[in-house]
């Protein structure tokens, strides 16, 4: 590594039943980043993951609460370093790319560098996963801004100030979405490097369920949209209610002009209720937007209290 000043580097590996690959993953990162501390955070594995990782020379931490998001919360809280490399323990990412990612983070003063996956192996990156990743990435880009091409990558490098300001609400695989939105929300300097994505070795099974976890990620995007962009979110509800109210009210208004009466009182009451509901949505959006701005300012101040990677 051609770094001008020394810094503490920690490699964080979340694991669940990766005994078949974890030894090679730890060894590869020890070779590529000889000065880094390698941490394996085990999430209640039922195989020999812990034993293999310990024998390979990694420091072991155990997280009882199941879910990748819960593991990341503990990793970020417990480990002290200047630069953090997070990589899955399934042996699908190339350790050599970490050097380029760290170099990019430091030389450009970034807070997060994502390893965008590229693979020629069909077994490594199935079409369904690719399509879902593109769809979800574009959903986030349309709401929070277009910065990444691979939002769901499990290979990332972080600055200390990113890690220590990350709130970590997610519990499962939707945590990658939260990691991305946190950077976009605070308008952090971020980057992306294309990295080789390999197939899992034969006999090793992915923990990702395409439909279940894809649905959870969509729910997370909707939840983040509501909490981080409340004025836009509730304004959409207000607009829908107002539109239905006006559409239902047009025939009533025409009838009133013709005969001077409003014969369908239930419909008239429904129109009034929908318009009032729309106004309530709008008021909620305005109030929550003020609250959200204050919360973002607090997060920004916490983020700025920690020196950046180029300091």
Residue pair 186/147 in contact (Cβ under 8 Å)? The answer is: no
Residue 160 has a pLDDT of 93
Say what the alpha-carbon torsion angle 76, 80, 83, 86 is, to the nearest 10 degrees: -40
Distance of alpha carbon 14 from alpha carbon 86, whole angstroms: 8
56-66 per-position pLDDT tens digit: 999 999 999 98
Residue 295 has a pLDDT of 83
Distance of alpha carbon 80 from alpha carbon 70, whole angstroms: 18
183-197 per-position pLDDT tens digit: 988 889 999 999 988
| Mean pLDDT of all residues in 252-259 | 84
Please give the share of the chain, as a percent, with pLDDT higher than 70. Answer: 88
Distance of alpha carbon 37 from alpha carbon 156, whole angstroms: 16
pTM of the model: 0.77
pLDDT confidence band for 99 (50 / 70 / 90): very high
Residue 211 has a pLDDT of 67
Least confident of 123-132, 159-168, 302-311: 123-132
- Beta strand 156-159 pairing with 190-196: unpaired
Residues 6+ apart with CB under 8 A from 143: 221, 224, 225, 229
Distance of alpha carbon 99 from alpha carbon 115, whole angstroms: 11
Which tops the pLDDT comparison, 224 or 244? 244
12-29 per-position pLDDT tens digit: 999 988 989 999 999 999
Distance of alpha carbon 43 from alpha carbon 50, whole angstroms: 10
Q: How far is CA 102 from CA 4, 79, 149, 310, in A?
A: 12, 18, 19, 11
Residue 1 has a pLDDT of 43
125-137 per-position pLDDT tens digit: 555 566 666 777 7
How much is the mean pLDDT over the chain?
A: 85
Chain centroid to Cα 120, Å, comes to 25
Helices 97-107 and 22-32, packing angle to 10 deg:
50
Which residues are paired to 42 by β-bridges? 15, 62
pLDDT confidence band for 253 (50 / 70 / 90): confident
102-157 per-position pLDDT tens digit: 999 999 999 999 998 886 655 445 555 666 667 777 777 777 776 788 888 889 99
Distance of alpha carbon 199 from alpha carbon 217, whole angstroms: 23
34-81 per-position pLDDT tens digit: 999 999 999 999 989 999 999 999 999 999 998 898 999 999 999 999
| Among 104, 111, 59, 62, CA closest to 82 | 111
Residues 6+ apart with CB under 8 A from 80: 8, 10
| Among 1, 2, 10, 185, CA closest to 82 | 10
Helix (H, G, I), strand (E, B) or coil at 146: coil
Sign of CA dihedral 151, 155, 160, 163: positive
Sign of CA dihedral 24, 3, 114, 228: positive
| Among 180, 30, 183, 1, CA closest to 100 | 1
pLDDT at 241 over 70: yes
pLDDT at 274 over 80: yes
| Mean pLDDT of all residues in 172-201 | 85
Residue 262 has a pLDDT of 75
């Amino acid at each position: 590594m051609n770094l001008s000043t020394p810094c503490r580097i920690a490699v964080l590996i979340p694991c669940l039943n990766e005994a078949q690959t974890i030894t090679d993953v730890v060894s590869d990162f020890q070779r590529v980043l000889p000065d880094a501390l390698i941490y394996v955070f085990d999430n209640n594995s039922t195989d020999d993951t812990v034993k293999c990782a310990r024998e390979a020379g990694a420091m072991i931490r155990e997280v009882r609460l199941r879910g990748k998001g819960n593991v990341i919360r503990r990793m970020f809280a417990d480990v002290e370093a200047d630069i953090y490399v997070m990589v899955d323990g399934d042996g699908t990412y190339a350790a050599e790319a970490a050097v380029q990612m760290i170099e990019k983070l430091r030389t450009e003063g970034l807070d997060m560098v994502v390893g965008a996956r590229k693979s020629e192996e069909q077994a490594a990156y199935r079409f369904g996963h690719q399509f879902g990743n593109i769809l979800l990435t574009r959903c986030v880009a349309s709401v929070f801004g277009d910065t990444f091409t691979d939002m769901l990558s499990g290979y990332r490098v972080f600055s200390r100030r990113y890690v220590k300001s990350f709130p970590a609400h997610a519990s499962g695989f939707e945590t990658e979405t939260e990691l991305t939105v946190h950077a976009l929300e605070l308008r952090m300097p971020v980057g992306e490097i294309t990295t080789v994505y390999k197939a899992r070795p034969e006999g090793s099974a992915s923990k990702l369920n395409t439909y279940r976890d894809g649905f959870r990620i969509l729910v997370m995007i909707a939840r983040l949209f509501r909490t981080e962009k409340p004025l836009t979110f509730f304004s959409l509800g207000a607009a829908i209610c107002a539109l239905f109210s006006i559409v239902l009210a047009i025939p009533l208004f025409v009838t009133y002009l013709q005969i001077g009466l409003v014969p369908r009182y239930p419909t008239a009451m429904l129109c009034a209720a929908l318009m009032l509901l729309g106004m309530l949505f709008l008021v909620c959006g305005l109030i929550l937007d003020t609250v959200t701005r204050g919360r973002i300012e607090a997060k920004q101040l916490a983020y700025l209290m920690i020196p950046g990677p180029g300091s």
